[in-house]
Chain A
Amino acid sequence: MFPLAYAPGVQTLNGLARDDFLYYGMLHQTVKGRNKIRRLRSGMIQLYYTHKGDHMSTSSSTRGPDPAAVLGSTQDQDGSRAPITIGETSMLVVALVRIFVGYLWFQQLFWKLPPTFGGLHTFVVREVGGAFIPGYGTLVQNVLLPNFGLLGAFTFAAEFLISISLMFGLFSRAGAILATIMALQLYVGLSNTEWYWTYGMLVLLAVVLLPLPTGRRLGIDQWLAPRLQVAVENHRTARWLSWFV
């Protein structure tokens, strides 16, 4: 039998425990066809949604890991595709980065406070001439600037949501997606007017938070994720929401 990725002390959800895990492992050895492996995937999702004392599996999304990589197929004789686990300390560091990125967005609220959204106007005007995508400046000038109040409210609300999501680790992936979109917009509109990498780094800071479950430490997602995972079986909404934690 392959050693699999089982580690002593792992607690699995929905009553799946060590024996279940080994059962899937043995089953895998009898399966030769790739399609059959795919059929096992739904079972593996539960098994890999694990959390033990000192490690967190990175393969904890609803899609789960590639079973071939996890179970040690013939392509993985040297273990080069073995699942990666992130240690507790590393997770705390990643969580701290998430909080600081959230704080970065939070601080930007204070120079564009409602009802005037004052400081924002200067930058929107700058986007008219600064955008590097043809037509973007025209769009800003003819659509966004005439409706500045609406734009200001939307921008403030979006940045507030990003900061709450990332600082509190609440649906942190959703916050990272929104931050990526907002940072991309800034990159398109303003990077020509300043050092390119200023906004490039803002995009990358958001992107780097996307694939990791950063809210599972020092965040509300740590409490939310296992509950959503239990509800995944019966509720489609929970399955959808669980991607964002």
Chain B
Amino acid sequence: MNPAIQRGATSGILAGFLLGILFFVDYGPGNALLKPASWFGLAQVGGAKWIGFLLLIILGGLFGLLFGVLQRNRTVELGRSLLVGMAMGLAWWGFVALLIGSGISHVKLDLGNFLYSFIMLFLYGLLLGSLFFQRSSVHRG
């Protein structure tokens, strides 16, 4: 596998894991983990919080993989990594949270839901780009 794709996937998994931890830290605990489960209509099933946690890691890895594909055969630059990473976060929000979540699974898109999912997935993108750059720097070193 192309090293950039591999690094993209692992950075995505790491960023998704970090996102999962952030989703866990709330008044629940872990009530926010129901949000990713609700995108696929799984918020009512048993172990929905665990499903939400795993979904964040799996989707994080998938978008990281896509990030790696876009970054392959390119010189690693911090600015571009962050930009493409945040674009991935935006794509995750657009395709999964908005299209599948609100469009298909009928998750209510009020201000609270929008703010939470949009900002958190944008943060995922930043973490993805930043981790990819850090890991590439270590690799070069």
- A: which residues have CB within 8 A of B? 53-54, 92, 96, 99-100, 103, 106-107, 109-110, 113-114, 163-164, 167-169, 217-220, 222-223
In the complex, per-residue mask of B101-115: 1 if CB is within 8 Å of any chain A CB, else 0: 000000000011001
B137 partner residues in chain A, CB cutoff 8 A = 53
B130 within 8 A of A: yes
Question: CA of A96 to CA of B22 in the docked complex: distance in angstroms?
Answer: 11
User: Given known contacts A106-B119, A167-B119, is B141 in contact with A114 (CB within 8 Å)?
Assistant: no
Closest to B127 in A: A218
Contact of A53 with B112 in the complex, beta carbons under 8 Å: no
Contact indicator A168/B123 (Cβ below 8 Å): yes
Q: Are B130 and A222 in contact (CB under 8 A)?
A: yes
Contact A218 B130 (CB under 8 A): yes
A53-B137, A109-B115, A223-B79 known; 8 new pairs, CB 8 Å cut-off, are A53-B141, A113-B111, A113-B112, A167-B119, A168-B123, A218-B127, A218-B131, A223-B78
- Which of A53, A54, A114, A218 has a CB less than 8 Å from the CB of B126? A218
Residue on A with the closest CB to B123? A167
* B65 contacts chain A at the CB level, 8 A cutoff: no
Could you say which residues of chain B place their CB within 8 Å of the CB of A167?
119, 123
Q: Mark B residues whose CB is within 8 Å of A.
A: 18, 22, 25-27, 78-79, 82, 111-112, 115-116, 119, 122-123, 126-127, 130-131, 134, 137, 141
Q: How near does chain A come to B122, taking the closest CB pair, in angstroms?
A: 8
Cross-chain contact A220 with B82 (CB below 8 angstroms) = yes
**A160: nearest residue on chain B (CB-CB)?**
B115
* In-complex Cβ contact of B22 among A103, A113, A218, A219 (8 A): A103
6 sampled A-B residue pairs with Cβ under 8 A: A92-B134, A96-B18, A164-B119, A169-B126, A217-B130, A217-B134
- B123 close to A114 (CB less than 8 A): no
Min distance, Cβ B71 to any Cβ of chain A, angstroms: 16
| Chain A residues, Cβ within 8 Å of B141 | 53-54
Interchain CA distance A109-B22 in the complex, whole Å: 15
Contact in complex: B119, A219 (CB < 8 Å): no
List, in ascending order, chain A residues with CB within 8 A of B119's CB: 106, 163-164, 167
State in angstroms the CA–CA spacing of A96 and B134 once bound together: 14
Q: How far is the CA of A169 from the CA of B79 in the complex (A)?
A: 14
| Alpha-carbon gap, A109 to B26, bound state (A) | 12
Residues of B within 8 A of A103 (CB): 22, 25
User: Which of chain B's residues has its CB closest to A114's CB?
Assistant: B111
Residue of A nearest to B110 (CB): A113
Contact, CB under 8 Å: B22 / A220: no
Contacts of B26 in A (CB 8 A): 107
Provide the bound-state CA to CA distance between A169 and B125, in Å: 13
Residue of A nearest to B133 (CB): A222
A110→B31 CA distance, assembly (Å) = 13
Q: Is the CB of B123 within 8 A of A222?
A: no
A21 to nearest B CB, angstroms?
21
The answer to whether A223 and B82 touch across the interface, beta carbons within 8 angstroms, is yes
Interface centre among A113, A167, A169, A219 (most CB of B within 10 A): A167
